Amino acid sequence: SDLRKRVERGELLQPLSFASLVLCSVLLYLKVSLMDPGFVTPEEEVEVDHFTNGRVCMVIPPVPSPVKMRRCGYCMVQQPMRAKHCQLCQRCVRRYDHHCPWIENCVGEKNHPLFIVYLSVQLVVLLWGGHVAWSGLYFEQSWDWLQHNIFLLISFLLIIIFTIVVLLLLVSHLYLISCNTTTWEFMSHHRISYLRHSDTENPFDQGIILNLWRFFC
């Protein structure tokens, strides 16, 4: 492959860069899968009551008048706006997006930006890995060629499939972020009270630039 030829010529910059990118992808995966996605804790309810009694105003999204804040029927905590109970994690998650089986964790308020970074790095690794696999392929119409290249060919096809999956996932998340909505809100708009009773389709949308700025910064 292209990387192997560079190693044999003593050109180690690209192979080391590729290995570093793969390592970065693995570390990001571990970080996103193990970190707190924004679980709602009972202690937060006590803190909110304390601040309210002390007349400290908290900045919260506008809530339509028919909507009432409710207590979770599973973990019995007061759910903040845009929070949802995850049946797999058995916890309520702030700004719940979805439970990702890929990382075996929820994607929520705290780890959603890092999840986007992870997807971006993973996409670069897959594209680079696809290029490396393609550079090692030479096509001949013979059984011997297939025997010697079957694993490389399968690897290349798997990389293509995973690249398409990651690309579609990244593009869909960036679109939802630019609209300041979540996967859960997008898929279940008709079942969510604060969206169903809202005068606008998305009461949280403040324009693409401001939505992206508030999400990443």
The per-residue pLDDT for range 27-86, each reduced to its tens digit, is: 999 999 999 999 988 766 554 444 444 444 334 444 444 445 678 778 888 888 889 999
For 17, the enclosing helix (H) or strand (E) is helix 13-34
DSSP-based three-state secondary structure for 99 = strand
Q: Give whole-number Cα distances, 102 to 76, 105, 171, in Å.
A: 28, 8, 17
* 136 in any annotated domain: yes
| Domain assignment of residue 28, yes or no | yes
Residue 216 lies in a domain: no
What number is the average pLDDT over the span 166-181?
95
HSE at residue 33, side-chain half, CA atoms within 13 A, is: 12
Closest CA to 68 of 53, 51, 81: 81
Q: Has residue 66 been placed in a domain? A: no
Residue 142 lies in domain: 1-35+110-179
The pLDDT mean for the chain works out to 82
Q: Which amino acid is at 190?
A: H
Residue 92: enclosing H or E segment and its boundaries? strand 91-93
Query: Is 100 an active-site residue?
Result: yes
Among 72, 75, 89, 100, the one annotated catalytic:
100
Task: List own/partner pairs for 103-110 with CB under 8 A and 24 or more apart.
Answer: 103/29, 103/32, 103/33, 104/33, 105/32, 105/33, 105/34, 105/35, 105/37, 106/37, 106/38, 107/37, 107/183, 108/37, 108/38, 108/39, 109/37, 109/38, 110/35, 110/36, 110/37, 110/38
pLDDT band at 14 (very low <50, low <70, confident <90, very high): confident
Number of domains comprising the chain: 1
Is the residue at 21 inside a domain? yes
How far is 92 from 217, CA to CA, in rounded Å?
24
> Is residue 90 pLDDT above 50, yes or no?
yes
